[in-house]
Amino acid sequence: MIELFENIINLYSNESITTLTIISVLLMVLLLAIYEFFVYRFISHRSFYNKSFNITITILPFFISTIILCLQSNIIITLGTIGALAIIRFRTAIKDPTDMLYLLWSVYIGIVCGCQLFEVGVLTSIIVTIVLVVLEHVKFGRQPIVLILRSEKDLEQELKEYFKEQKINNRFKSRNYTNKGYDYAIELTVKDIEGLKQELSNNKKVTKYSIIEYDADDIV
């Protein structure tokens, strides 16, 4: 055990961080972080662009990479950093799972650049971008929508029969009954939106309707 401990100490003590190493790491972090910045800006499927989150995932790799450099230099710093990071808690909830992906990407960039594995970081970032672009433009199954409908009479049963006939999955989210008419909010997964629009337009009982497309928690 003593010999193993001495070998670990020697491994850390032999590691020297030069100014050139620091500059090269930070420059590579800058390139990959800016690359991720533009990927999130133009590929992210969120309807509302979150600039503050994008800035966060761009700056985060700088701190991660320099932490990794410090961990390589001294075992005391390593143990202290592990203890400090263990008590950190982030209270901000991330609602979109894709945002968690970009956050992990930022941490990854910082780690691989801090370890000076530049080629790994570049190739992984390029491949991840290609996969994101492909998956962003590939649509699976039917398109989810929310139908907001107003009618003069109660159309719930009639609508359910139509949805059943057209094999449209439906779920009535809300019903509002007033003296002026009936309001419905219906969640649908429909393949032919144009056919649905034509059916609603031809129904004289329908006074007004809105079709809202959405992806996960985002309204398009």
Interval 132-140 mean pLDDT: 70
Element (H, E) at 174: strand 169-178
Contact indicator for 151, 205 with CB cutoff of 8 Å: yes
pLDDT (0 to 100) of residue 76: 57
Q: Which residues contact 78 (CB under 8 A, 6 or more apart)?
A: 12, 70, 71
For 31-60, write each residue's pLDDT tens digit.
998 998 888 888 765 556 677 778 888 888
Domain ranges of the chain: 2-137, 143-219
Most confident of the following: 9-18, 87-96, 136-145: 136-145
Q: Is the pLDDT of residue 98 over 80?
A: no
Interval 119-131 mean pLDDT: 85
Report the candidate in 164, 133, 163, 147 with the shortest Cα–Cα distance to residue 213.
147
Q: How many whole angstroms separate alpha carbon 37 and alpha carbon 44?
A: 10
| This model's pTM is above 0.85 | no
pLDDT classification of 141: cutoffs 50, 70, 90: low
Q: Which residues contact 123 (CB under 8 A, 6 or more apart)?
A: none
What three-state secondary structure class fits 44?
coil
Neighbours of 181 (CB within 10 A): 17
What three-state secondary structure class fits 96?
coil
- CATH 3.30.70.60 assigned to 143-219: yes
Q: Can you tell me which residue has the tokens 């949805």?
A: 163
- Kindly list the distances between the CA atom of residue 203 and the CA atoms of 82, 153, 200, in Å, as whole numbers in the listed order: 66, 11, 5
Interval 52-77 mean pLDDT: 75
For 180-198, write each residue's pLDDT tens digit.
888 888 888 877 778 888 8
Mean pLDDT value across the chain: 76
CA of residue 219 relative to chain centroid, distance: 15
